[in-house]
Amino acid sequence: MKKSSESLPLLPGLWRGFKASAPQRETISTGLPALDELLPHGGWPLGALTEILIDQEGIGELRLVMPALAKLSQGGRWLTWIAPPYVPYAPALAAHNIDLRKVMLVRPRADSDQLWAVEQALRSGTCGAVLAWPSSGDKRQLRRLQLAAESGNCLGLLFRSVRTAQHASPAALRLRLHITGEQLEITPIKCQGGWPKKPIKLALPLIP
């Protein structure tokens, strides 16, 4: 007699817990082996949003994503920074092996234009990664960004405050960063496509 679960059609969104075949998602390696192990599918998810939740700046949140961004820019895809809180310093970006010819900065004057610009950049398909610091974002707006990232096959990185950790979010990956001493503690809050694993501690170098 056939098992009833085997008669279910092979839907792409249906995740079967007893089989090891999770729906495959395209990822880009983070450049740090310990972090690759922590993340499902071994890297940052392309075509989805990733939220990085921090309590203060300067703990290594940008250095964490620099290797992947360097690889994307060297591969010819654009990196778009939308409404960054400070100036991304060009010599430092170059020192992290980012191709400055593929970096674009967008500074909208109005907050309402921010989310629009993020959506346009994610959807365009020409950007490999979009970094945004959204000042606000309810679930509906984030869902739109998630769909835009899917259609543009883009790595969407949203840097938000740790206070938003308890709000639900449609992002595929949510990581909380906290600095303890000289090491950065990375706690996965949400990992789509895998079980959240234990937090890890990394020491990030200042220059690669």
Contact pick of 108, 193, 194, 199 for another protein (by CB under 8 A): 108
Contact pick of 23, 26, 94, 111 for another protein (by CB under 8 A): 94
- Rounded CA-CA distance 204/207 in Å is 9
Q: Helix (H, G, I), strand (E, B), or coil: what is residue 184?
A: strand
CA dihedral 85, 91, 97, 102 (to 10 degrees): 60
As measured in angstroms, the least distance from the Cβ of 168 to another protein is: 27
208 binding another protein? (CB under 8 A): no
Residue 106's Cβ-side half-sphere holds a number of Cα atoms within 13 Å equal to 23
- Rounded CA-CA distance 141/149 in Å is 12
As measured in angstroms, the least distance from the Cβ of 86 to another protein is: 4
Complex with another protein: residue 119 or 192, whichever CB lies closer: 119
Contact pick of 58, 138, 140, 198 for another protein (by CB under 8 A): 58
59 binding another protein? (CB under 8 A): yes
Residues 6+ apart with CB under 8 A from 183: 201, 202, 203
> Which has the closest alpha carbon to 60: 188, 190, 200, 179?
179
- 174-193 positions binding another protein, by CB under 8 A: 179-182
Complex with another protein: residue 106 or 202, whichever CB lies closer: 106
As measured in angstroms, the least distance from the Cβ of 80 to another protein is: 8
As measured in angstroms, the least distance from the Cβ of 31 to another protein is: 15
Contact pick of 32, 43, 49, 63 for another protein (by CB under 8 A): 63
Is the dihedral angle over the CA atoms 152, 153, 158, 164 positive or is it negative? positive
Binders of another protein: how many residues, by CB under 8 A?
A: 49
126 binding another protein? (CB under 8 A): yes
Phi, psi of 150 (to 5 degrees): -65, -45
158 binding another protein? (CB under 8 A): no
As measured in angstroms, the least distance from the Cβ of 49 to another protein is: 19
Please count the residues of the chain.
Answer: 208
Residues 6+ apart with CB under 8 A from 109: none
**Binding region for another protein (CB under 8 A):** 55-63, 66, 76, 78, 84-96, 100-101, 103-109, 113, 116-117, 120-121, 124-127, 179-182, 206-207
